[in-house]
Amino acid sequence: MKHPARIAALAVALVVIVFGVVLALNVGSDPQEDAKQSNLVGKAAPSFDLPNLAGGRVTLADIAGKSAIVNFWNHWCIPCQQEAPALESFYAEHKDDPDFAMIGIVRDDTTGDVKAYVKKRGVGWTIALDPSSVAALDFGTRGQPETYAISPSGVVAAAKYGPMSTTELERFLAAARANA
Amino acid sequence: MIKRWGAWIALALVVVVALTVVLWPNGSQSAAARAHDLETQFKCPECEGLSVADSQAPTSRAIRADIKRRIKAGQSDGQIRQAYVDTYGESILLTPQDSGVSLLVWILPIVVLALGATGIVLVLRRNRDEPHLHATEADERLVEREHRDG
């Protein structure tokens, strides 16, 4: 070892270069990318068993064999109120489709407020209550509104954080049907 | 030989004992302490740069309650962490995982430090063992003359 310091410096440089190459190859352009998209797409939808507004229960089994839209929301969230017209017109368009189901899961809200809101807006689809946010966490929600498309075989076909337009809802329904 | 290496062996022992004390899993941790530890490891999904422990957002409150439920159900810390990574992805963790590519984040700084320390030790040793100044014939004549002249 004639120049030990030089060899050590070369070794450090080599390690740093390898580190840089590995990072460049493994880290995408945005290290927070997975914070913007659901990890559940392509996987089985989480099971849920929640009370509905009518006093009954709503479960994942209820939508088995159907192309379903599951929307997390609550009455006080402004973006939820902004997407409400799109949900309403989308539901009116598809409510009679035999293979279609739509569930609104309410998180972080009171039953009384939800009942009043549903009555006022004439919401026709099934509303489930998730007071402990158990279903919300199982779906990996980051707030509300959030929408998931579930295929007839129970696979999450698409997901979005934030308010939906009717075009996006149609795209989600098509994705769920394509995953049949 | 023993005298030469004694200090290094003692230093290595101190490092090993310190690392063992710091890194050894504490089996007697209470459920509340475990829950708080986990809460500090998860990022609030709907905030910027806050841990679940520090956030009052609805999702963070729900995660805190869920962690307590999972601990009560007998899940280990690793199982709870994995359940959240499976659902939310690695972005839910405030610190990188200690497996896969993320392991490099933990290992490489240690490797770089070790190589740097080795380099410094080698340079110091070379400087100690190899005197830089060599007496020329003129120097030696001068020293001899000084000795003679007394």
Residue B20 domain-assigned?
no
Residue A84 has pLDDT above 60, yes or no: yes
Residue A149 has pLDDT above 90, yes or no: yes
Whether B65 has its CB under 8 Å from any CB of chain A: the answer is: yes
What residue in A sits closest to B125 (Cα-Cα)?
A4
Q: Specify whether B32 is located in the same domain as B84.
A: yes
Residue A52 has pLDDT above 70, yes or no: yes
Domain segments of chain A as ranges: 1-31, 34-178
What local confidence, expressed as pLDDT, does residue B132 receive? 66
What local confidence, expressed as pLDDT, does residue A98 receive? 95
Report residue A144 as tokens.
Answer: 């509300």
Q: Specify whether B115 is located in the same domain as B91.
A: no
Taking one residue from A and the other from B, the number of pairs with CB-CB distance under 8 angstroms is: 85
What residue in B sits closest to A109 (Cα-Cα)?
B58
Q: Is residue A42 within 8 Å of residue A156, measured between CB atoms?
A: yes
Report residue A46 as tokens.
Answer: 């989480």
Whether B45 has its CB under 8 Å from any CB of chain A: the answer is: yes
Residue A42 has pLDDT above 80, yes or no: yes
Residue B119 domain-assigned?
yes
Q: Specify whether B88 is located in the same domain as B101.
A: no
Interchain proximity B87–A138, CB inside 8 Å: yes
What local confidence, expressed as pLDDT, does residue B84 receive? 94
CA angle A29, A30, A34 (to 5 degrees): 130
Domain at B75, CATH number: 1.10.8.640
- How many residues does the structure list for chain B? 150
Which of A16, A34, A40 faces B91 most closely, judged by CB atoms?
A: A34
Nearest to A173 by CA among A75, A92, A66, A64: A66
In this structure, of A131-145, A146-160, B112-126, the range with the lowest mean pLDDT score is B112-126
What local confidence, expressed as pLDDT, does residue A75 receive? 95
Interface of A with B (CB under 8 A): 1, 4-5, 7-9, 11-12, 15-16, 19, 22-23, 26, 32, 34-35, 39-40, 46, 107-108, 132-134, 136-143
Residue-by-residue pLDDT tens, chain B, 150 positions: 666 677 778 888 888 887 777 666 655 678 999 999 999 999 999 888 899 999 999 899 999 999 999 999 999 999 999 999 999 988 899 886 666 666 777 777 787 788 778 878 877 877 777 666 778 888 889 999 988 887
Separation between Cα atoms, residue B144 and residue B138, nearest integer Å:
10
Contacts of A8 in chain B (CB under 8 A): 115-116, 118-119, 122
CB atoms inside a 10 Å sphere around CB B32: 10
Query: Average pLDDT in the A59-69 region?
Result: 96
Chain centroid offset of residue B77 CA? 21
In this structure, of A50-54, A95-99, A170-174, B15-19, the range with the lowest mean pLDDT score is B15-19
What residue in B sits closest to A11 (Cα-Cα)?
B115
Which of A5, A15, A107 faces B119 most closely, judged by CB atoms?
A: A5
CB atoms inside a 10 Å sphere around CB B66: 20
Strand ranges in chain B using DSSP code E only, listed in sequence order: none
Separation between Cα atoms, residue B8 and residue B121, nearest integer Å:
12
Among B39, B63, B115, B121, pick the best mutation site for testing chain A contact (most A Cβ within 10 A).
B115
Query: For the whole prediction, is pTM greater than 0.80?
Result: no
Separation between Cα atoms, residue B136 and residue B141, nearest integer Å:
9
pLDDT tier, A110 (very low <50, low <70, confident <90, very high otherwise): very high
Q: Specify whether B72 is located in the same domain as B90.
A: yes
Contacts of A137 in chain B (CB under 8 A): 59, 62-63, 66, 87
Nearest to B120 by CA among A18, A7, A15, A17: A7
Residue A160 has pLDDT above 60, yes or no: yes
What local confidence, expressed as pLDDT, does residue A66 receive? 97
Architecture of domain A34-178: 3-Layer(aba) Sandwich (3.40)
Q: Specify whether B68 is located in the same domain as B34.
A: yes
Q: Specify whether B87 is located in the same domain as B113.
A: no
Is A61 or B114 the better-scoring residue by pLDDT? Answer: A61
Q: How distant is the Cα of B146 from the closest Cα of chain A, in angstroms?
A: 37
Residue B70 domain-assigned?
yes
Which of A16, A32, A132 faces B62 most closely, judged by CB atoms?
A: A132
Residue A133 has pLDDT above 80, yes or no: yes
B5 φ, ψ to 5°? -95, -10
What local confidence, expressed as pLDDT, does residue B108 receive? 75
Q: Specify whether B102 is located in the same domain as B46.
A: no
Q: Specify whether B32 is located in the same domain as B85.
A: yes
Nearest to A146 by CA among A154, A155, A158: A158
Residue B136 domain-assigned?
no
What local confidence, expressed as pLDDT, does residue A135 receive? 95
Is B85 or A2 the better-scoring residue by pLDDT? Answer: B85
Contacts of B91 in chain A (CB under 8 A): 32, 34-35
Interchain proximity B91–A35, CB inside 8 Å: yes
Domain that holds residue B71: 28-95
What local confidence, expressed as pLDDT, does residue A26 receive? 63
Residue A59 has pLDDT above 90, yes or no: yes
Q: Is residue A165 within 8 Å of residue A173, measured between CB atoms?
A: no
Which of B46, B91, B112 faces A12 most closely, judged by CB atoms?
A: B112
Q: Specify whether B48 is located in the same domain as B90.
A: yes
Residue B150 domain-assigned?
no
Residue B18 domain-assigned?
no
Q: Specify whether B78 is located in the same domain as B55.
A: yes
Q: Specify whether B86 is located in the same domain as B101.
A: no
pLDDT tier, A137 (very low <50, low <70, confident <90, very high otherwise): very high
Residue B101 domain-assigned?
yes
Residue B124 domain-assigned?
yes
What local confidence, expressed as pLDDT, does residue A86 receive? 97
What local confidence, expressed as pLDDT, does residue A154 receive? 96
Q: Are strands A146-150 and A156-161 parallel, antiparallel or unpaired?
A: antiparallel
**Positive or negative CA dihedral for B67, B22, A19, B48?**
positive
Q: Please tell me the total count of domains within chain B.
A: 2
pLDDT tier, A81 (very low <50, low <70, confident <90, very high otherwise): very high
What local confidence, expressed as pLDDT, does residue B3 receive? 66
What local confidence, expressed as pLDDT, does residue B26 receive? 57
What local confidence, expressed as pLDDT, does residue B28 receive? 64
Report residue B47 as tokens.
Answer: 């905030």
Nearest to A69 by CA among A89, A52, A90, A43: A90
Last residue of a domain, one of B75, B95, B115: B95
Would you call A72 helix, strand, or coil by DSSP? strand
Q: Specify whether B91 is located in the same domain as B55.
A: yes
CB atoms inside a 10 Å sphere around CB A132: 15
What residue in B sits closest to A4 (Cα-Cα)?
B122
Which of A16, A35, A133 faces B58 most closely, judged by CB atoms?
A: A133
